[in-house]
């Protein structure tokens, strides 16, 4: 589905087929003959002499530290192809076709030696769809050994922001395609150009068939030189993958001296494990000065837009390989040679942080928000659909819908799309994807509702309660949940009266057994100008079953009942209170500076002896800097603190009570920042520990960086941040140069500052932000809210250039110059809590898991799904799929097998607090009785050896797990589910 007019570019689209667009290639029959045929080059003695001379120069440079005659340069062609960047996806399809066709041609010319390393199965999918004959030729060249499949991930993604489950699907779909079409599972993962690497990646790679990993990107560091070339990369769980970090092409030879230290093996008693708290310079004391690993990689070819290796590059490389230093070879063989040395390689036990392109964590806020939204929506809806299938076998599980949804999300996680560093037309395409994905979720919910109705009414003999509305609330979290839920007014088909404020009356959510009821407080619809503007509806705080569907009666109150609930007496009874300078929900107490809108005091009776958890008078204030990096403005975030913008925090400030009721209270602070009006909403909900925050603006100033400050009283020594199926600790006051260079940090669903003794802390939860810093002091963090840099320019060959020209001439329209301008919305929360982010000290002095932060972060990101029923049945059942008494274990996915598509059910569990544990998973007995067998499997859903105990009668799964370990199980279901 494509909108005729682009959401971000504003341009009317042109159809590439109608326009006859073609992907240009500088190589042709003439250049083929000139470089590789009977042309002048092959008969030119100067050409041969120059290539030999270049090899001698490299040998001379190497001879300063090693014997050049011992060096073996393993050579393979490759061509980096950005799935979208300075061109659209549609053009990349042709870039891939022409690049791979050229590789096949080179294989024909040099069948005994040429090798092309090919990654990114999405590109192969496109070629298979568009050019099936070329795809068959690729298959033949793979068999012949001239094309070597590497990678395995569906695309080469951004490697900092995708979730753990997204990385798992990235590997699953990519490796499955290669197995089905080539019968090969590569062992080398190939993320050569991503902007840093999440610490959770090693475990996911190792548990999905990878043994080796290549990146060139960490050689791009601006502040320090990463000293490790050949090393083991170790994840938080202890998984290790053999890693090589070196430049593309002949860069390792040209820059031999810069990275030479990383080629020396460790001394016998050398320091084995390294991370960012170590000084890089110290490595010199721990390696063998007179010994070097002789194996060097030369993976070469024109790239970014593909088309490599060119005919010229192959001709030059053929000449290099006539010397005793170079040889054509396989990437896998290169790593097998490294493996022989690997017991003497160091271990890197930390993330791989790129000291470059830090701005990509925050630029283009909408692509980040939709990424997170789709990651969570897909897992939630998969589980909901599977529960529905278990309840009603006649329900058609939407297997293809979910696979398409995941592949679309993964495509948009490509390492120039999710980072926000592409041209606006790329985000036109992404927006269309997001709209189509949202429609697919609504279709799934509609089909689920219909199927549940059929089952419920067949079991209740079609008995209904005509005066009652019944809704199901689906909780995707694996614990009983009590948190805010929004029920939109369009859940119900009939027209519902709205008062003069645009609100419906109060309502009640009543448990089916009538034992509990919950007040539903109404809100008006947000203005249409807001991003993802909410409809009118109700907020309610019900109690919901774990991974379950809980039915409720929903009753809208009449005017007098509604007025009674909203009375001052009801508010007092619920301990809800609000003024322009203070607010409380009976547990969390806030004070606000009416002159600035800052939160100056946060107290809870049971935390820090009731003392203020904040310090100073600037929490919740916005700080602004000039955002003017020297190069690559969409990518880079340089020393912005040298360019502050003076902000008058009292300018045009107004504070109003926006919402006041027994369920929640809201203050709204409005102010002017530079030339833009900013609204900040602060809400407290009954029985919820979070301070819910919203940031709304229509941002008008380009080349600016906005951060919002929160200063705590924690005296924190480390921050703890959620990452891909793991968590990472970083010093709040780093000491080493390499640690200081991580001044812009990455998080997923939360970041936390806790006291050194883990007695209490404050976490910041978010639903689509990834960047923060702790540069102010050890007790403060700043959420990176917004950047407004230049968009990059389109490539010279980009088809969009004609589209831009036509739109300018025909409609007088030009594309936007800057990203980050226009409507903006961010929802996040502060969570004060007892204990640390991961652990809490018990009375016996031992640390135990503290699941509170992780659970509330998951709830913030996985909203309860409202399932409307068109009829109201009598006594529909409460359905809970599973619960996990082991509080630090989290359900990652519950879905159908996708590797073999055999109808088995896959459940993935993750330890979330860094504590070894004995795990108990309680499965719904009705489901457990239909399970024939349980197997431990890897991320590719292949059976593995792993000890566990399954008690079918009790529906209990038991196993032991390590800190941050991912464990996956296959449940063989009696009634095979159609895929």
Q: Tens of pLDDT along 281-321?
A: 999 999 999 999 999 999 999 999 999 999 999 999 999 99
Q: Tens of pLDDT along 593-605?
A: 999 999 999 999 9
The whole-number pLDDT of residue 342 equals: 98
Q: Tens of pLDDT along 785-844?
A: 999 999 999 999 999 999 999 999 999 999 999 999 999 999 999 999 999 999 998 777
The whole-number pLDDT of residue 514 equals: 86
Q: Which of 704, 684, 702, 700 is nearest to 692 (CA)?
A: 684
Q: Tens of pLDDT along 497-555?
A: 999 999 999 999 999 888 899 999 999 999 998 988 999 999 999 999 999 999 999 99
What is the pLDDT averaged over residues 672-686? 98
Q: Would 123 be classed as within a structural domain?
A: yes
pLDDT at 870 over 90: no
- Angstrom distance (rounded) from CA 388 to CA 377: 16
What CATH number is given to the structural domain containing 540? Answer: 1.20.1270.50
pLDDT at 461 over 60: no
Q: Would 824 be classed as within a structural domain?
A: yes
What is the pLDDT averaged over residues 652-662? 97
Q: Tens of pLDDT along 698-733?
A: 999 999 999 999 999 999 999 999 999 999 999 999
Contact 719, 730 (CB under 8 A): yes
Length of the chain: 979
pLDDT at 466 over 60: no
The whole-number pLDDT of residue 240 equals: 99
- Write down the pTM of the prediction: 0.97
- Angstrom distance (rounded) from CA 391 to CA 456: 10
- 360 burial type by CB count under 10 A (0-12 exposed, 13-18 middle, 19+ buried): buried
Contact 416, 422 (CB under 8 A): yes
What CATH number is given to the structural domain containing 636? Answer: 2.70.98.30
DSSP state of 586: S
Q: How many angstroms from the chain centroid is the CA of residue 204?
A: 14
What is the pLDDT averaged over residues 966-975? 93
Among 868, 887, 921, the domain-final residue is 868
Q: Which of 411, 387, 394 is nearest to 122 (CA)?
A: 411
Torsion of CA 421, 425, 429, 430, to 10 degrees: 30
- Give the angle 29-33-36 at the CA atoms, nearest 5°: 120
Helix, strand or coil, per DSSP, at residue 575: coil
The whole-number pLDDT of residue 477 equals: 98
Q: Which residue has the tokens 């819910």?
A: 692
| Angle of helix 424-459 versus helix 89-109 axis, rounded to 10 | 110
- Angstrom distance (rounded) from CA 832 to CA 762: 4
Q: Mark whether 222 and 332 lie in a shared domain.
A: yes
Q: Which residue has the tokens 């891939």?
A: 96
Q: Mark whether 377 and 313 lie in a shared domain.
A: no
What is the pLDDT averaged over residues 182-209? 99
The whole-number pLDDT of residue 703 equals: 97
- Secondary structure element (H or E) that encloses residue 423, with its range: none
Q: Tens of pLDDT along 390-443?
A: 999 999 999 999 999 999 999 999 999 999 999 999 999 999 999 999 999 999
Which tokens go with 208? 């999905």
Total structural domains in the chain? Answer: 4
| Angle of helix 121-130 versus helix 89-109 axis, rounded to 10 | 90
The whole-number pLDDT of residue 228 equals: 98
Q: Give the CA distances from residue 480 to residues 382, 543, 705, 739, in Å, rounded to whole numbers and listed in that order.
A: 19, 7, 40, 40
- Angstrom distance (rounded) from CA 266 to CA 271: 8
pLDDT at 977 over 90: no
- Angstrom distance (rounded) from CA 766 to CA 768: 6
Task: Give the confidence band of 457 by pLDDT, cuts at 50, 70, 90.
Answer: low
Helix, strand or coil, per DSSP, at residue 6: coil
The whole-number pLDDT of residue 414 equals: 99
Task: Give the confidence band of 467 by pLDDT, cuts at 50, 70, 90.
Answer: low
- 822 burial type by CB count under 10 A (0-12 exposed, 13-18 middle, 19+ buried): middle
Q: Give the CA distances from residue 718 to residues 152, 353, 618, 709, in Å, rounded to whole numbers and listed in that order.
A: 35, 17, 21, 17
Q: Are strands 273-274 and 347-348 parallel, antiparallel or unpaired?
A: parallel
Q: Would 65 be classed as within a structural domain?
A: no
What CATH number is given to the structural domain containing 151? Answer: 3.20.110.10
- Angstrom distance (rounded) from CA 212 to CA 177: 20
Query: Dihedral sign, CA of 156, 157, 158, 159?
Result: negative
What is the pLDDT averaged over residues 322-338? 98
Q: Would 51 be classed as within a structural domain?
A: no
Q: Which domain holds residue 540?
A: 365-565+862-868
The whole-number pLDDT of residue 459 equals: 64
The mean predicted confidence, pLDDT, of the chain is 96
- Secondary structure element (H or E) that encloses residue 664, with its range: strand 664-673
Phi, psi of 427 (to 5 degrees): -80, -20
Q: Mark whether 593 and 727 lie in a shared domain.
A: yes
Q: How many angstroms from the chain centroid is the CA of residue 311?
A: 38
The whole-number pLDDT of residue 130 equals: 98
Which tokens go with 381? 């809806």
Task: Give the confidence band of 1 by pLDDT, cuts at 50, 70, 90.
Answer: low
Q: Would 877 be classed as within a structural domain?
A: no
What CATH number is given to the structural domain containing 930? Answer: 2.60.40
- Angstrom distance (rounded) from CA 748 to CA 362: 12
**Which residues lie closer than 8 Å to 509 by C-beta, 6 or more apart?**
487, 517, 518, 520, 540, 542, 552, 553, 554
Beta strands in 767-812 (DSSP E): 771-773, 780-787
pLDDT at 191 over 80: yes
Contact 723, 748 (CB under 8 A): yes
Task: Give the confidence band of 574 by pLDDT, cuts at 50, 70, 90.
Answer: confident
Task: Give the confidence band of 465 by pLDDT, cuts at 50, 70, 90.
Answer: low
pLDDT at 8 over 60: yes
Q: Tens of pLDDT along 923-967?
A: 999 899 999 999 999 999 999 999 999 999 999 999 999 999 999
Q: Mark whether 316 and 374 lie in a shared domain.
A: no
Q: Mark whether 626 and 596 lie in a shared domain.
A: yes
CB-based burial, 907-933: b 16+ in 10 Å, e otherwise: bbbbbbbbbebebebbbbeebbeebee
Alpha helix stretches (DSSP H) within 755-817: 800-811
704: left (phi over 0), alpha (psi -120 to 50) or beta: beta
Q: Which residue has the tokens 């000293």?
A: 227
Q: For the residues of 828-842, what is the DSSP string, one character each?
A: EEEEEEES-SSEEE-
- Give the angle 88-803-87 at the CA atoms, nearest 5°: 20
The whole-number pLDDT of residue 153 equals: 99
Q: Mark whether 759 and 851 lie in a shared domain.
A: yes
Strand order in the sheet with 582-584: 577-578, 582-584, 589-592, 599-603
Q: Mark whether 347 and 412 lie in a shared domain.
A: no
Q: Mark whether 560 and 488 lie in a shared domain.
A: yes
Q: Are strands 507-511 and 889-896 parallel, antiparallel or unpaired?
A: unpaired
- Angstrom distance (rounded) from CA 476 to CA 468: 26
Beta strands in 310-432 (DSSP E): 326-328, 347-348
- Angstrom distance (rounded) from CA 215 to CA 815: 34
| Angle of helix 399-411 versus helix 121-130 axis, rounded to 10 | 110
Task: Give the confidence band of 873 by pLDDT, cuts at 50, 70, 90.
Answer: low
Q: Mark whether 466 and 339 lie in a shared domain.
A: no
- 695 burial type by CB count under 10 A (0-12 exposed, 13-18 middle, 19+ buried): buried
Task: Give the confidence band of 453 by pLDDT, cuts at 50, 70, 90.
Answer: confident
Q: Mark whether 732 and 847 lie in a shared domain.
A: yes
Q: Tens of pLDDT along 350-403?
A: 999 999 999 999 999 999 999 999 999 999 999 999 999 999 999 999 999 999
pLDDT at 42 over 90: no
Among 868, 883, 915, the domain-final residue is 868
Contact 346, 266 (CB under 8 A): yes
Which tokens go with 649? 């925090």
Contact 79, 309 (CB under 8 A): yes
Q: Would 468 be classed as within a structural domain?
A: yes
Among 819, 848, 868, the domain-final residue is 868
Q: Mark whether 647 and 704 lie in a shared domain.
A: yes
Q: Would 116 be classed as within a structural domain?
A: yes
Q: Which of 346, 164, 62 is nearest to 726 (CA)?
A: 164
Q: What percent of the chain is predicted at pLDDT more than 70?
A: 98
The whole-number pLDDT of residue 568 equals: 74
Please name every residue paired with 81 in a beta bridge, in sequence order, or none if there are none. 304, 305
Q: Mark whether 547 and 575 lie in a shared domain.
A: no
The whole-number pLDDT of residue 874 equals: 55
Q: Which of 1, 837, 857, 785 is nearest to 376 (CA)?
A: 857
Q: How many angstroms from the chain centroid is the CA of residue 435?
A: 19
The whole-number pLDDT of residue 458 equals: 64
What is the pLDDT averaged over residues 166-174? 99
Q: Which of 729, 669, 674 is nearest to 701 (CA)?
A: 674
Q: Tens of pLDDT along 411-422?
A: 999 999 999 999
Q: Would 8 be classed as within a structural domain?
A: no
Q: Which residue has the tokens 């529905």?
A: 388
Which tokens go with 269? 């008693």
pLDDT at 152 over 80: yes
């Amino acid at each position: 589905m494509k909108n005729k007019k682009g959401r971000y570019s504003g341009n009317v689209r042109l159809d590439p087929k109608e326009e006859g667009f073609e992907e240009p290639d500088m190589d042709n029959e003439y250049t083929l003959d000139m470089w590789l045929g009977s042309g002048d080059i092959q008969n030119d003695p100067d050409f041969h002499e120059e290539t030999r001379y270049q090899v001698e120069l490299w040998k001379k440079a190497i001879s300063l530290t090693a014997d050049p005659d011992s060096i073996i340069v393993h050579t393979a062609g490759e061509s980096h192809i950005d799935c979208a960047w300075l061109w659209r996806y549609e053009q990349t399809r042709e870039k891939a076709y022409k690049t791979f066709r050229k590789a096949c041609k080179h294989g024909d010319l040099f069948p005994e030696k040429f090798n092309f390393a090919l990654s990114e199965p999405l590109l192969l999918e496109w070629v298979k769809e568009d050019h099936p004959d070329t795809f068959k030729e690729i298959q033949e060249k793979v068999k012949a050994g001239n094309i070597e499949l590497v990678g395995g991930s569906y695309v080469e993604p951004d490697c900092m922001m995708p979730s753990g489950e997204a990385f798992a699907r990235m590997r699953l779909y990519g490796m499955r395609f290669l197995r089905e079409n080539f019968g090969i599972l590569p062992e080398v993962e190939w993320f050569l150009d991503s902007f840093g690497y999440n610490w959770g990646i090693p475990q996911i790679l190792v548990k999905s068939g990878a043994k080796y990993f290549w990146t060139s990107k960490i050689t791009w560091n601006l502040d320090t030189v990463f000293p490790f070339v050949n090393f083991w990369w170790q994840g938080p769980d202890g998984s290790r993958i053999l890693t090589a970090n070196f430049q593309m092409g002949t860069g390792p030879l040209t820059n031999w001296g810069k990275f030479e230290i990383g080629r020396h093996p460790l001394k016998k008693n050398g320091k084995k494990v390294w991370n960012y708290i170590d000084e890089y310079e110290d490595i010199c004391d721990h390696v063998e000065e007179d010994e070097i690993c002789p194996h060097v990689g030369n993976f070469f070819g024109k790239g970014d837009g593909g088309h490599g290796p060119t005919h010229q590059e192959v001709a030059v490389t053929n000449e290099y390989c006539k010397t005793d230093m170079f040889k054509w070879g396989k990437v896998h063989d290169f790593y097998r040679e490294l493996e022989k040395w690997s017991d003497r390689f160091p271990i890197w036990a930390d993330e791989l942080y790129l000291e470059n392109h830090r701005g990509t964590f925050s630029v283009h806020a909408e692509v980040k928000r939709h990424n997170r939204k789709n990651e969570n929506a897909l897992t939630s809806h998969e589980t909901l659909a599977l529960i529905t299938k278990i309840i009603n076998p006649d329900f058609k599980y939407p297997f293809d819908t979910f696979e398409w949804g995941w592949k679309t999300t993964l495509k948009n996680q490509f390492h120039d799309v999710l980072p926000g560093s592409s041209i606006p037309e790329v985000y036109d395409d992404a927006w269309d994807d997001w709209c189509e994905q949202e429609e697919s979720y609504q279709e799934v919910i509609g089909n689920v509702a219909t199927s549940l109705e059929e089952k419920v009414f067949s079991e209740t003999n079609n008995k209904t309660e005509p005066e009652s509305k019944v809704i199901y609330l689906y909780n995707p979290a694996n614990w009983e949940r009590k948190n805010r839920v929004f029920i939109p007014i369009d859940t119900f088909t009939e027209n519902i009266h709205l008062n003069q404020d645009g609100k419906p009356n109060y309502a009640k959510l009543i448990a089916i057994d009538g034992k509990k009821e919950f007040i539903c407080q109404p809100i008006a619809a947000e203005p249409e100008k807001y991003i993802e503007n909410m409809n009118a509806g109700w907020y309610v705080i019900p109690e919901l079953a774990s991974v379950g569907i809980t039915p409720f009666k929903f009753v809208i109150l009449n005017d007098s009942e509604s007025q009674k609930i909203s009375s001052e007496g009801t508010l007092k009874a619920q301990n809800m209170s609000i003024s322009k300078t203070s607010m409380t929900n009976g547990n969390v107490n806030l004070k606000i500076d009416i002159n600035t809108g800052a939160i100056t005091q946060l107290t809870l009776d049971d935390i820090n002896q009731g003392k203020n958890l904040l310090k100073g008078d600037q929490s919740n204030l916005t700080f602004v800097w000039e955002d003017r990096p020297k190069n690559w403005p969409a990518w880079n975030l340089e020393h912005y603190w040298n360019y502050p913008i003076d902000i008058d925090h009292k300018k045009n400030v107004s504070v109003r009570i926006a919402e006041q009721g027994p369920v929640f209270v809201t203050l709204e602070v409005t102010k002017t920042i530079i030339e833009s009006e900013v609204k900040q909403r602060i809400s407290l909900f009954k029985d919820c520990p979070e301070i819910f925050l919203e940031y709304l603006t229509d941002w008008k100033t380009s080349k600016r960086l906005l951060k919002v400050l929160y200063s705590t009283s924690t005296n924190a020594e480390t921050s703890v941040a959620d990452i891909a199926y793991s968590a990472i600790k970083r010093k709040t006051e780093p000491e080493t140069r390499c640690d200081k260079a991580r001044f812009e940090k990455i998080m997923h669903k939360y970041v936390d500052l806790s006291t050194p003794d883990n007695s209490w802390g404050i976490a910041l939860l978010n639903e689509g932000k990834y960047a923060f810093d702790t540069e102010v002091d050890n007790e403060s963090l700043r959420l990176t809210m917004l950047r407004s840099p230049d968009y990059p320019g389109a490539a010279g060959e980009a088809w969009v250039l004609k589209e831009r020209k036509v739109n300018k001439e025909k409609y007088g329209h030009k594309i936007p110059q800057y990203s980050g301008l226009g409507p903006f919305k961010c929802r996040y929360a502060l969570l004060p809590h007892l204990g640390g982010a991961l652990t809490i000290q018990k009375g016996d002095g031992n640390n135990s898991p503290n699941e509170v932060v992780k659970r509330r972060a998951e709830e913030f990101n996985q909203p309860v799904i409202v399932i409307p029923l068109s009829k109201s049945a009598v006594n529909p059942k409460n359905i809970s799929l599973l619960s996990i008494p082991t509080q630090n274990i989290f359900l990652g996915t519950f879905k159908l097998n996708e590797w073999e598509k055999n109808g088995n059910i896959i459940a993935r569990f993750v330890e979330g607090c860094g504590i070894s544990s004995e795990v108990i998973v309680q499965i719904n007995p009705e489901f457990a009785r239909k399970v024939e067998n349980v197997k431990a499997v890897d991320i590719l859903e292949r059976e593995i050896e792993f000890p566990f105990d399954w008690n079918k009668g009790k529906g209990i799964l038991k196993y032991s797990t390590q800190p941050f370990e991912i464990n996956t199980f296959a449940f063989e279901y009696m009634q095979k589910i159609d895929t």
